[in-house]
Structure 1
Amino acid sequence: MLLVAGVDIGNSTTEVAIAQINGSKLEFYTSGIEKTTGVKGTKRNIRGIVNALNNALENTPYQIKDISLILLNEATPVIGDIAMETITETVITESTIIGHNPSTPGGVGFGVGTTISFQELMSHRGKEPVIPLINAGYDFADVAAEINHKLDQGIRIVGVIVQNDDGVLISNRLKTSMPIVDEVKYIDKVPVHMPAAVEVAESGRTIETLSNPFGIATVFNLDPEETKLVVPLSRALIGNRSAVVIKTPQGDVHARRIPAGKLMILGQHHKAEINIEAGADEIMSSVEKVKPVLDVRGEPGTNVGGMLERVRAVMSKLTDQPIETMAIQDILAVDTFAPKEVLGGVAGESALENAVGLAAMVKTSRLPMQQIAAALEKEIGVKVQIEGVEANMAILGALTTPGSAKPLAIVDIGGGSSDAAIINSQDQVFYTHLAGAGDMVTMLIKAELGLDSTLLAEAIKCSPLAKVESLFHMRMEDGSVKFFDQPLDPHLFSRVVVLNGNTMEPIETDHSMERIRTVRREAKRRVFVTNVLRALTRIAPNGNIRLLDFVVIVGGSALDFEIPEMITEALAEYKIVAGRANVRGMMGPRNAVATGLVLSYYQNLKNGSNG
């Protein structure tokens, strides 16, 4: 009896299928899965392989040393990164133009005046409108009393800027309603005796004047060139309930352009050069025009040039191959947004700037996989061989889905790559291997929501959302309401949370549940749906997707609660029947490649190809 293990090294997980071969009889025995260690296709994968094998054998009488043969797939590493489009920053000298959006501003309205310290306000007698600056050393009740006193004296106080979270407390004690912006952390950076505008919208509404570049131009009497430079600021304030904008005549506002750079796409017969600023659609159009892609280069000294060289350097180090041999065989470009800090801000203000996300697939030689096989064989004392290409193996595994038959097309969506393959009635297999999948979606969610944690972005990608509206109920993202017998954690009150099984993880952000959901779904569409259509076009007869009848979805991302529905909906337009695989009638969309590795070996063994 032979105990044979198929091992699928993925970007996120390593999966194992172990079968017993008795003469001409094949019987799958057990399966396992563990997190991939290191970058796919490198020696660091060995620990993850051993862990996955131990996981599969945990409740069996066997140990790793009892395995007769281990079969590996050919793993191609994929690295994703963001190459920013040209950014225009507001750079400040001496003082600043700022915007701010505290969670609980006070009062309502719009005021334009001159900034003044609270100490100076106490002795102020002028008639010009003023906006006092209240630092953390003053009590809100004393501040409100002094402002009321000055209003009684005829002093024109048109707005207030506060360091503490005291906006509502001060507003509730004033005789006259006025806009109050609080939580200005770096109030010491706010210049005094300078023109300023403070705006607070009514609850449920957003500001109108300071989120409009022409509104800012009107307030501060800017010329057309200066108006262009405040566009990043006004964009940062769109959707805010409150804002304060301050300008100093002594301060110079400069635009600093960070070049995104150009991509040089080298194909077998053609080449293309395109600026990142042209956007994802133009980049992907160029990729399709020059395919098959032999390499992609970035303009030296630019953002994208640095990104691609970093990808090459990382893969060169991990695979012990010369950097000049590192070729990028595919890229996926996606339009996105990324928050960019407005320099000179007093509370970490940022503006959403256009960006292009790039996933790059590095083509390495077969050598790294041979090195993995040799190192694994040495470590565990079991024979290891490379059995086949990932897509070919996946289609063999997918054919074990009950009800499937040839001809059949599959899409294998993993963490770093999207593969597609088709097998026709003559057993001919055509496949493609494309950059970009689950890891890129996580990257886009993290960038667009301005999150610090990749783990939180991953959780948002994989799980539905809810808003905790009381200690005993929450509203789900689909609009339904869920009630609880026991009170929820008070820290979750009024928070948007990610629902992962029975756990609720709060999302530390000011974004609404609707905004987070939109970012999540759009990121999935731009990566998964785009890549599935791109991959199926490459493998379809004559490049015509409409000639495909059945498409089976395999891979970890097929378990996602939204992706299969999105893909099925997109393929319905082409009258294609699509659905999740159920590998071996029990594994769902998982384990297709690992199962296919074992089946490939078994078929070759029967045909005498394995000796």
Structure 2
Amino acid sequence: MGAREGGPLGERLVVGVDIGNSTTEACLAVVAPDGSITYLGTDLTRTTGVKGTPDNTEGALKAIRGTLTRAGRSAGEVGTVLLNEATPVISGLAMETITETIITESTMIGHNPTTPGGEGLGVGTTRSIAELGERQPGEPVVCVVPHGWDFDDVAATLNAAVAAGVDVVAAILAGDDAVLVTNRLTRPIPVVDEVSAVEKVPLGMLAAVEVAPPGRTIRTLSNSYGLATVFGLDPAQTRQVSPVARALTGNRSAVVVRTPTGDVTDRRIPVGELVLHGAGKTLRVDVDAGAEAIMEVVGRAQPLDDARGEPGTHVGGMLAQVRDTMADVMDIAGQPDVPVSEIAIRDVLAVDTFVPAEVRGGLAGEVALENAVALAAMVRTSRSRMQLVADLVSEGLGTAAEIGGVEGEMAVGGALTTPGVDRPVAVLDLGGGSTDAALLTREGECTAVHVAGAGELVTKLIDSELALGDRDVAEGVKWFPLGKVESFFHLRHEDGTVEFVDQPLPPHVFARVVVLTADGPAPVPTRHGLDHVRRVRREAKRRVFVVNALRALRQVAPGGNLRALEFVVLLGGSALDFEIPDMIADALAPYGIVCGTGNVLGTEGPRNAVASGLVRAHTARLAEEARCPTG
């Protein structure tokens, strides 16, 4: 082979290694004496440690050995290993809830049990089931049933009261027996069950119980004027109860009890402010002003030098933690510590979202979707430990290793191997922690930016808004199309098409919303319908990737003008997503930009752009040295 001693005139075996935030990629190639490149194979593994730190060595060696094994080559044949100049980037996420629904004196049970009984609206005075026999005929009664009552006894007591002339219009149960009770009643009434703190429901007060038919939601109690009609409220009182109506929207059943001093308040929580330093000024913005206001201020502070959060708040804690994490990973024995003051937050992305939170003062574990702001922050440091990584890789393989080039420039070089792409070209690297953009002009000048927020933030938004409480399930919702299993032999896809199957589907997915993985349908543990889950998924991707794509491209485009761009190539793991590339292409279409997912080397798809770009840049340097020998 003569790989090492051949110099620019001999055939050389080289490996390009791209260490990213989430994955490490390797590209093996033979560089011929005439400068032609023959690519032999690629490999992909998970990044070990934080990008740009010595912990990356293990992942880099694994990727190199993997691609050598696939190509049937040995480490001894490798002439040079080329690593990207990777500046450490750490992304942090925080969720700040900015509203809180509070119930005082049991005004509302905004309750949504899975199986309420009956249907309709019942308005009457709350009475205990034990007192039903003492009630006068004709008085509308909402019967309250405490723990310990059997459904047969409840039904018999209610039937006896109705036979005696008591006007029972609705019932509130502690147990989970609504359907069993309504099936045994001589007169159908709406019944709400699973009210855990039923003993706190005030007796002798006017109450309304509403249950909608299956597949529908309540109409009267979720309407401010419906509440005003039921309880005879004046305009001032109607304004007060609007949070009640809003909190009940979308429920199949609900109970509202009117007490003399009870109220439901929609309180805004002060969550501190964000202090942004950049463009020669210091700007402040309250986090509870919402994502749009925050991003408007971030835009005025570009390029951002640093950001700090108010101490004692989630945001302040998150930004401090991101800084401390970077300081920790940059500390290496025998070298001076990196002061936290040297580590700066370089970008912030804010996204409006919802967080399911238990209503304070509720009686049945009611959950309201509270407004929240999700924040992603990114920290970079000027210090890189990549030379140390190169030394460790060289030691581990027994071959030369060097820093082959800066990440953004290499990514553009790799993207140019996509068929149909030419300069000027911009690339968008859609990763896990950050979204990166780079532009290569016709003259060969390259500029690059990194912005906070990518795949991890999308997963967090889906997890929070669907109240899944399981990151793996949220990741599945993000990656795979949805379906609804309608029988054991057919399912309906999210686009409305129906698929019939030969083998019966497993029982645990029957009548469930599922994600259609390669291993078959997997259930999504949510009460929400397919359309709602799909809408949450697409909106999360739009608010992160589409917003960031436009933001990052404006920062690299000449004069911030997107119309000056011609080709945009999407790279990275999230470019493999089944809908993100189309969403970004649609957003860029009005600017006349040719946008699509990269196909590096014509075979690799959006993967391996930086690794193959390193090989291309190295080959160009060798050719230059051959033309202009030194000395």
Instruction: Give the TM-score, by structure 1 length.
Output: 0.91
Distance 2:270 2:314 in 1: 6
2:560 matched to 1:543?
Answer: yes
Contact 2:94 / 2:374 at 8 angstroms: preserved in 1?
yes
2:119 matched to 1:108?
Answer: yes
- CA offsets 1:271-301 (integer angstroms, 9 cap, x no match): 3222223322232222222211101112233
Question: 1:151 offset after TM fit, Å?
Answer: 0.9
Distance 1:256 1:610 in 2: 73
Distance 1:140 1:508 in 2: 29
- CA offsets 1:278-335 (integer angstroms, 9 cap, x no match): 3222322222222111011122333322332232233333333332222111112222
Contact 2:432 / 2:456 at 8 angstroms: preserved in 1?
yes
Distance 1:66 1:368 in 2: 27
Task: Please point out which of 487, 498, 508 is paired with 1:481.
Answer: 498
Distance 2:426 2:349 in 1: 22
Distance 1:527 1:294 in 2: 22
Deviates more, 1:434-443 or 1:132-141: 132-141
Distance 1:517 1:15, change over 3 A: same
Distance 1:371 1:455, change over 3 A: farther
Distance 1:124 1:76, change over 3 A: farther
The aligned residue for residue 26 of structure 2 is: 16
Distance 1:218 1:370 in 2: 74
Contact 1:9 / 1:75 at 8 angstroms: preserved in 2?
no
Amino acid at match of 1:291: Q
Distance 1:200 1:114 in 2: 17
Contact 2:40 / 2:71 at 8 angstroms: preserved in 1?
no
- CA offsets 1:376-413 (integer angstroms, 9 cap, x no match): 55556555433333221110100111222222222221
Query: Greater CA radius of gyration, 1 or 2?
Result: 2
1:205 is paired with a residue whose SS is coil
- CA offsets 1:416-442 (integer angstroms, 9 cap, x no match): 222222222221112222112222211
Deviates more, 1:437-446 or 1:136-145: 136-145
The aligned residue for residue 520 of structure 2 is: 503
2:583 matched to 1:566?
Answer: yes
Distance 1:470 1:504 in 2: 13
Question: 1:242 offset after TM fit, Å?
Answer: 0.7
Distance 2:63 2:46 in 1: 8
Identity %: 51
The aligned residue for residue 178 of structure 2 is: 167
The aligned residue for residue 290 of structure 1 is: 301
Question: 1:510 offset after TM fit, Å?
Answer: 0.9
The aligned residue for residue 6 of structure 2 is: none
Amino acid at match of 2:99: I
Question: 1:354 offset after TM fit, Å?
Answer: 2.2
Distance 1:532 1:113 in 2: 56
Distance 2:275 2:629 in 1: 43
The aligned residue for residue 578 of structure 1 is: 595
Contact 1:262 / 1:274 at 8 angstroms: preserved in 2?
yes
Question: 1:174 offset after TM fit, Å?
Answer: 1.4
Contact 1:7 / 1:17 at 8 angstroms: preserved in 2?
yes
- CA offsets 1:211-253 (integer angstroms, 9 cap, x no match): 2356556656789888777655433321111112346558786
The aligned residue for residue 394 of structure 1 is: 411
Contact 2:101 / 2:370 at 8 angstroms: preserved in 1?
no
The aligned residue for residue 355 of structure 1 is: 372
2:612 matched to 1:598?
Answer: no
- Any stretches of 5+ residues in structure 1 without a counterpart? none
The aligned residue for residue 77 of structure 1 is: 89
Question: 1:504 offset after TM fit, Å?
Answer: 0.9
2:536 matched to 1:519?
Answer: yes
Amino acid at match of 1:521: R
Contact 1:465 / 1:513 at 8 angstroms: preserved in 2?
yes
The aligned residue for residue 258 of structure 1 is: 269
1:159 is paired with a residue whose SS is strand
1:597 is paired with a residue whose SS is helix
Distance 1:361 1:183 in 2: 45
Contact 1:207 / 1:242 at 8 angstroms: preserved in 2?
yes
Task: Please point out which of 266, 286, 301 is paired with 1:275.
Answer: 286
- CA offsets 1:328-382 (integer angstroms, 9 cap, x no match): 1111222222222212334432212222222111012323444544555555655
Question: 1:190 offset after TM fit, Å?
Answer: 4.6
Deviates more, 1:160-169 or 1:588-597: 160-169
Distance 1:492 1:425, change over 3 A: same
2:460 is paired with a residue whose SS is helix
Task: Please point out which of 246, 257, 277 is paired with 1:235.
Answer: 246
Contact 1:556 / 1:589 at 8 angstroms: preserved in 2?
yes
Distance 1:218 1:267, change over 3 A: same
- CA offsets 1:163-194 (integer angstroms, 9 cap, x no match): 44332222222122211112334545555555
Amino acid at match of 1:565: D
Distance 1:194 1:430 in 2: 69
2:508 matched to 1:491?
Answer: yes
Contact 2:210 / 2:221 at 8 angstroms: preserved in 1?
yes
- CA offsets 1:43-80 (integer angstroms, 9 cap, x no match): 54444334433433343434557644433331442424
The aligned residue for residue 426 of structure 2 is: 409
Contact 1:464 / 1:477 at 8 angstroms: preserved in 2?
yes
The aligned residue for residue 334 of structure 1 is: 351
Task: Please point out which of 147, 156, 168 is paired with 2:158.
Answer: 147
1:396 is paired with a residue whose SS is helix
Deviates more, 1:279-288 or 1:171-180: 279-288
The aligned residue for residue 68 of structure 2 is: 57
The aligned residue for residue 451 of structure 2 is: 434
Amino acid at match of 1:88: E
Distance 2:378 2:525 in 1: 33
Task: Please point out which of 158, 167, 170 is paired with 1:156.
Answer: 167
Distance 1:243 1:549, change over 3 A: same
Deviates more, 1:449-458 or 1:31-40: 31-40
Distance 1:34 1:166 in 2: 53
2:346 matched to 1:318?
Answer: no
Contact 1:85 / 1:259 at 8 angstroms: preserved in 2?
no
1:354 is paired with a residue whose SS is strand
Contact 1:540 / 1:548 at 8 angstroms: preserved in 2?
yes
Amino acid at match of 2:22: S
Deviates more, 1:204-213 or 1:234-243: 204-213
Deviates more, 1:140-149 or 1:521-530: 140-149
1:210 is paired with a residue whose SS is coil
Distance 1:347 1:387 in 2: 62
Distance 2:189 2:317 in 1: 49
Distance 1:363 1:330 in 2: 9
Contact 1:413 / 1:554 at 8 angstroms: preserved in 2?
yes
The aligned residue for residue 177 of structure 1 is: 188
Distance 1:191 1:43 in 2: 64
Distance 2:399 2:151 in 1: 74
Distance 1:610 1:115 in 2: 96
Task: Please point out which of 46, 55, 59 is paired with 1:35.
Answer: 46
Amino acid at match of 1:212: N
Amino acid at match of 1:516: V
The aligned residue for residue 14 of structure 2 is: 4
Contact 1:90 / 1:229 at 8 angstroms: preserved in 2?
no
1:422 is paired with a residue whose SS is strand
The aligned residue for residue 458 of structure 1 is: 475
Deviates more, 1:455-464 or 1:230-239: 230-239
Distance 1:350 1:50 in 2: 49
